[in-house]
Chain A
Amino acid sequence: MSVELYVVQFLTGLANAASLFLVACGLSLIFGVTRIVNFAHGAFYMLGAYLAYSLTIRWQTPVGFWLALLVAAAIVAVLGAVIEILLLRRLYRAPELLQLLATFGLTLMAEDAVRLIWGPEDLVGPRAAGLSGAMTVLGRPMPVYDFVLILLGPAVLGLLWLLLHRSRWGLLIRAATEDRDMVGALGVNQTWLFTGVFALGVFLAAFGGGLQIPRDAVSHVMDLSIITEVFVVVVIGGLGSLTGAFLAAIIVAELNAFGILILPGISLVLTFLIMALVLVLRPFGLLGKPLAQSRTLSHRIHGAWQPLGGVGRSAALAILICAALLPLVLGEYGLGVASEVLIAVIFAASLQFLMSVAGLDSFGHAAGLGLGAYGAALSVQHFGLSMEAALLIGPLASALFAAIAGWFCVRLSSIYFAMLTLAFAQIVWSIAFQWVEVTGGDNGIVGVWPSAWASGATAYYWLTLGCTTAVVLLTRHLTFSPFGYALRALRDSPLRAAAIGISRQPVQHAAFVISAFLAGLAGVLFAFLKGSVFPDTLGIGTSVDGLIMVLLGGFGTVSGSVAGAIVYKMASIWLISNTDFPRLILGGLIVLLVLVFPLGIVGTLQQALAGRLLAGNASVRGRT
């Protein structure tokens, strides 16, 4: 290998870094000011690309190409502003992750929408007029367009820097990134500041999408293929830091460009390895600062949780009895669906314990489920163990991994914690995906069926129901145990908790392991229900499903996720089975639910109930 190769590879890496940075900087800006975890950033990127495609095929001149990109980005930015005004503006005071849920709903809708508008096929736009050739660098041809990108990256960084440091608006943005409550207190109209920043971020995303036209095909999966990568770049750089994002984009792109020279299989997991390493060494990313806690955000508007009273217990028992009697009315398929829903309940309940009780928002909960499933499948396949043994081994496998990963994770907090869990989950996923000899790779492990006694639909349903009941009872019991109180103290006020002698990391670590153990149980049941295990159980999609179920049920509740899981799982199964555009409808439904029930289904019901009690009985006021 020659020096020329390294130079050209470096330049190629720089071009990729510029592409990444252009999308990442918008996300970083938006998060820095509004604290929105904007999952829809990839969707805006995709929309920008689709619109730019439609315009560039009409305007195939050197000026027309760039005009098309700017016009497309401007249109998408206006759309972004409208969405911010109509949807996100209502959510700033809701639990932080709710915006993630809303923007996830938007992403689902966008995927089906582009299919409806632009058709199902991948679209390939024209190359940039005048820039389609190659330039020779040290005897090796390199696309001229790559040099444009290499220049564009620092240019955009420079322009943003000027905007942020040399204009009043930029001053306000920086102030809001630092302390947005203070900015509000000083009389700045935050509403429009947020809208402006959101639109600017969306503009950058859409422009970044358009820039891919000469390099990439435009398709309805573009959004998901970029969003995680961009998130990783933003987190490695440090949230809210543009220079950090720029640096991180260069590191990620260059390591990838050189990594494939040495280890071609590495690109699958490289970015996540880098992220894990950076976060372990620098808990706030390369150039990030500790996140200031917002003073106006009050997640938990209820008073302290109470164990269920007599009425609640009777209702829960009644629900359980009804659930146990379902085999009387349901057929084999209905029971299969019911079992799947119950497994989702276990998964969601285990995540809720981690998120709501321990205050640790995990983006990698799929690792818990997937490791349980793989643990079970491998013990059945390779060691010939029975389902009963697998029911224990699967959760233990999850717990063991959580014990190791958790040690690193609980050292971090908030979004950085979440991203490190994601990194670990992705690393596990890539092992399951690449270690074909053991895990079967993408083809998974098949032939994982239950023992004879549990193979009937009814028996398996009762088994699942038993496990679900045990898990929900256990998480509730833990929540109201001294251990649960310690977790909640740490969640609500780490400082005061430390003052009374609660040691943060061991307590949270224990919660992390317990939660993974329970998710592992869901994984085992899932594996035996489906008869097979595939890497997608470890994928990001599974983690996102878990988050949605918790948020839908009620982030601020003890067991709201039970309702969230039931509603979400049944809705998605029904929609997939009965409509041609399930994502459009499911996404719309999620957005609607977020607007109507910002506290989640159970959270809103509780509040409504409490409101009625307050109106009727003044003495209650003393407690809340």
Chain B
Amino acid sequence: MTRLSTLAALLLGLSTTSQSLAADIKIGEINSYSGLPAFTEPYRKGWQMAVDEINAAGGIRGDTLVVISRDDNGKPGDAITAANELVAREGVVMLTGSFFSNVGLALGDFARQKKVFYLAGEPLTDAMVWSKGNDYTFRLRPSNYVQAAMLAEEAAKLPAKRWATIAPNYEYGQSAVAVFKELLKKARPDVEFVGEQWPPQGKIDAGSVAQAVEATKPDAILNVTFGADLVKLVREGTTRGLFRDRAVVSFLTGEPEYLDPLQADAPQGWIVTGYPWYGIDTPAHKAFLDAYKARYNDYPRLGSIVGYALVKSAAAILTKAKSTDTADLIAAARGIAVDTPFGPITFRAADHQSTLGAFVGKTAVRDGKGVMVDFTYRSGNDVLPAEADAAKLRP
């Protein structure tokens, strides 16, 4: 009997709908809050600031924007449960968010099946908008392809001919290496790839990997590891002289999330993509930076930009759309222009990818901290395939 009453009580609890004001426009947001706090905490700060700015400026045509946020526990299955809750119980008009590519793909497919609008933030996989793209899914962040294209362009300028790669052994690392290889070979047919290492994500045996890469005598190294793996690789590789007199091209390493923990150990002279918040002097970014610092007494990470730009994009779509029906949202989102701290972006009509770009530059150590120097902002527009070509990549 106890079993029964617990069951009934809990299920009844789940079925009650929460109260809301009539003039609220609710959007759902899902991310790996408990599993990936280093990214999601600045990310949450970013979108919360955006929500308040939007509502202070009159909301969505007079209605208040409300973001209902859920944790996905880092698992696609749990993300679907959360999405169900947001759509069926909270009645959100669109879904946003997610970090991991597999969660993003699961949500994208959920959106297609349930005919819900989904605006992805962080997931990097190209499949999101190309091979597994669908009408209902849009994506904000510069994809794997975009990052690889920017870095391959820089890599092609190097004299290096023999390349070795180090990438985490899952889809992100695999596709990053594949795209980089393809683009670099196209630009420089004389380049050869002499070695590859595939450490398991989060479990790199950095000493052995560094030694194995060193043994292939490359001129240059492509690194795709990040987080704790990057720390280990940098430390072991530096001590073992792996990076001495070698060019290193590295995905995402310039993002404060990954560069800051390294402190004085930060590598020098690596060509990276990232977010040098301390050196961007456009008015749009300055306004964002000042507001962020004033509000949180902390500096923004790239996650903050993603969260902020995500909700700004969602608001722009909602404002432009005739109604909150999914079809109207899709129509509004196609080709929409949004202002972000990185400047204006558009969501391309053909493949639903935004033209948000990234900063490409070199790493250096200044005052005992890793920073990016000599960087330039590259819009996604510059490197994405033409819309007509991109459309062919979609099913």
Contact across chains for B208 and A122 when beta carbons are under 8 A apart: no
B4, B169, B199, B200: the one within 8 Å of A318 (CB): B4
* CB-CB contacts below 8 Å: B73-112 with A: 73, 75-78, 80-82, 84-85, 87-89, 101-102, 105-106, 108-110, 112
- Interface-lining segment among A34-42, A213-221, A240-248: A213-221
> Which B residues touch A536, using CB under 8 A?
75-77
CA distance A146 to B84 in the complex (A): 50
Contact across chains for B212 and A261 when beta carbons are under 8 A apart: yes
- Interface-lining segment among B8-16, B148-156, B307-315: B8-16
- Supply 17 A–B pairs (Cβ within 8 Å), ascending by A: A121-B261, A122-B38, A133-B239, A217-B231, A217-B261, A264-B212, A267-B200, A267-B203, A322-B8, A332-B84, A332-B89, A442-B170, A442-B171, A446-B105, A446-B106, A534-B106, A570-B7
> Which B residues touch A219, using CB under 8 A?
227-228
Query: Which chain A residue has the least Cβ–Cβ distance from B265?
Result: A124
Over the window 430-461 of chain A, the binary record of Cβ atoms lying under 8 Å from chain B Cβ atoms (1 yes, 0 no) is: 00011010001111101101000000010000
* CB-CB contacts below 8 Å: B220-235 with A: 227-228, 231-232, 235
- Interface-lining segment among A12-20, A80-88, A274-282: A12-20
Does A526 count as interface, using CB distance less than 8 angstroms? yes
Query: Which chain A residue has the least Cβ–Cβ distance from B72?
Result: A576
> Which A residues touch B270, using CB under 8 A?
none
4 tightest Cβ-Cβ pairs between the two chains A and B: A120-B37, A446-B109, A332-B88, A333-B88
Interface residues, chain B, CB within 8 Å of chain A?
Answer: 1-4, 6-8, 10-15, 17, 33-34, 37-38, 40-41, 70-73, 75-78, 80-82, 84-85, 87-89, 101-102, 105-106, 108-110, 112-113, 125, 127, 132, 169-172, 174, 196-200, 202-203, 205-209, 211-212, 214-215, 227-228, 231-232, 235-236, 239-241, 257, 260-263, 265
Contact A124 to B262, CB < 8 A, known contacts A215-B235, A216-B228, A576-B71: yes
Contact A120 to B38, CB < 8 A, known contacts A9-B212, A577-B85: yes
CA distance A567 to B5 in the complex (A): 12
CB distance from A152 to the nearest CB of B (A): 15
Contact A121 to B38, CB < 8 A, known contacts A318-B4, A566-B6: yes
> Which B residues touch A531, using CB under 8 A?
80, 106, 109-110, 113
Contact across chains for B211 and A12 when beta carbons are under 8 A apart: yes
- Interface-lining segment among A298-306, A392-400, A579-587: A579-587
Contact across chains for B228 and A217 when beta carbons are under 8 A apart: yes
> Which B residues touch A268, using CB under 8 A?
169, 198, 200
Scoring A134, A219, A333, A457 by chain B CB atoms within 10 A of each residue's CB, the highest score goes to A333
Contact across chains for A337 and B14 when beta carbons are under 8 A apart: yes
Contact across chains for A8 and B211 when beta carbons are under 8 A apart: yes
Contact across chains for A576 and B78 when beta carbons are under 8 A apart: yes
CB distance from B83 to the nearest CB of A (A): 10
Scoring A322, A442, A602 by chain B CB atoms within 10 A of each residue's CB, the highest score goes to A442
CA distance A338 to B88 in the complex (A): 14
Contact across chains for B205 and A566 when beta carbons are under 8 A apart: no
Contact across chains for B207 and A16 when beta carbons are under 8 A apart: yes
> Which A residues touch B235, using CB under 8 A?
127, 214-215
B84, B105, B169, B262: the one within 8 Å of A333 (CB): B84
Contact across chains for A532 and B106 when beta carbons are under 8 A apart: yes
Contact across chains for A261 and B3 when beta carbons are under 8 A apart: no
CA distance A333 to B12 in the complex (A): 11
Does A537 count as interface, using CB distance less than 8 angstroms? yes
Contact A330 to B11, CB < 8 A, known contacts A257-B208, A444-B105: yes
Interface residues, chain A, CB within 8 Å of chain B?
Answer: 1-2, 5, 8-9, 12-13, 15-16, 112, 115, 120-124, 127, 132-134, 140-143, 146, 214-217, 219-222, 225, 229, 253, 256-257, 260-261, 264-265, 267-268, 315, 318-319, 322-323, 326, 329-334, 336-338, 340, 433-434, 436, 440-444, 446-447, 449, 457, 526, 529-532, 534, 536-537, 541, 562-563, 566-567, 570, 573-574, 576-577, 580-583, 601-602, 605
> Which B residues touch A141, using CB under 8 A?
239-241
CA distance A532 to B113 in the complex (A): 11
**Chain A's interface: helix, strand, loop or mixed, by majority?**
helix
Contact across chains for A329 and B76 when beta carbons are under 8 A apart: no
Contact across chains for A265 and B169 when beta carbons are under 8 A apart: yes
Contact across chains for A580 and B262 when beta carbons are under 8 A apart: no
CB distance from B259 to the nearest CB of A (A): 11
CA distance A172 to B131 in the complex (A): 64
Contact A215 to B241, CB < 8 A, known contacts A566-B3, A580-B33: no
CB distance from B275 to the nearest CB of A (A): 15
Contact A333 to B200, CB < 8 A, known contacts A215-B236, A530-B76, A534-B76: no
CA distance A91 to B56 in the complex (A): 57
Query: Which chain A residue has the least Cβ–Cβ distance from B125?
Result: A443
CA distance A261 to B205 in the complex (A): 12
Contact across chains for A122 and B228 when beta carbons are under 8 A apart: yes
Scoring B1, B34, B227 by chain A CB atoms within 10 A of each residue's CB, the highest score goes to B34
Task: With A442-B171, A526-B77, A530-B106 given, name 20 new contacts (CB 8 A).
Answer: A9-B211, A120-B40, A122-B231, A142-B239, A217-B227, A219-B228, A257-B208, A268-B200, A322-B8, A330-B15, A332-B88, A333-B89, A434-B169, A436-B171, A442-B101, A442-B172, A541-B75, A562-B3, A566-B3, A576-B70
> Which B residues touch A441, using CB under 8 A?
170-171, 174
CB distance from A347 to the nearest CB of B (A): 13
Contact A143 to B77, CB < 8 A, known contacts A332-B84, A567-B6: no
A444, A573, A580: the one within 8 Å of B106 (CB): A444
CB distance from B29 to the nearest CB of A (A): 13
Query: Which chain B residue has the least Cβ–Cβ distance from A218?
Result: B228
Contact across chains for A319 and B10 when beta carbons are under 8 A apart: no
Query: Which chain A residue has the least Cβ–Cβ distance from B301?
Result: A121
> Which B residues touch A319, using CB under 8 A?
3-4
CA distance A222 to B228 in the complex (A): 9
CA distance A112 to B35 in the complex (A): 9
CA distance A169 to B315 in the complex (A): 69
A134, A261, A573, A582: the one within 8 Å of B241 (CB): A134
Contact A216 to B113, CB < 8 A, known contacts A260-B208, A446-B106: no
Contact across chains for A264 and B196 when beta carbons are under 8 A apart: yes
Query: Which chain A residue has the least Cβ–Cβ distance from B6?
Result: A567
> Which A residues touch B232, using CB under 8 A?
215-217
> Which A residues touch B198, using CB under 8 A?
264-265, 267-268
CA distance A623 to B8 in the complex (A): 35
CB distance from B56 to the nearest CB of A (A): 25
CB distance from A122 to the nearest CB of B (A): 4
Contact across chains for A449 and B41 when beta carbons are under 8 A apart: no
Contact across chains for B34 and A582 when beta carbons are under 8 A apart: yes
> Which A residues touch B10, using CB under 8 A?
570, 574
Contact A530 to B197, CB < 8 A, known contacts A329-B12, A331-B15, A442-B172: no
CB distance from A307 to the nearest CB of B (A): 18
> Which A residues touch B89, using CB under 8 A?
331-334
CA distance A322 to B197 in the complex (A): 56
Query: Which chain A residue has the least Cβ–Cβ distance from B216?
Result: A1
Query: Which chain B residue has the least Cβ–Cβ distance from A527?
Result: B77
Contact across chains for A12 and B6 when beta carbons are under 8 A apart: no
> Which A residues touch B73, using CB under 8 A?
576, 582
Contact A16 to B208, CB < 8 A, known contacts A124-B265, A443-B125, A582-B34: yes
CA distance A340 to B82 in the complex (A): 12
CB distance from B163 to the nearest CB of A (A): 15
CA distance A368 to B268 in the complex (A): 48
Scoring B33, B72, B132, B205 by chain A CB atoms within 10 A of each residue's CB, the highest score goes to B205
Contact across chains for A121 and B260 when beta carbons are under 8 A apart: yes
CA distance A134 to B236 in the complex (A): 10
> Which A residues touch B84, using CB under 8 A?
332-333, 336-337
> Which A residues touch B75, using CB under 8 A?
534, 536, 541
> Which A residues touch B102, using CB under 8 A?
442-444, 534
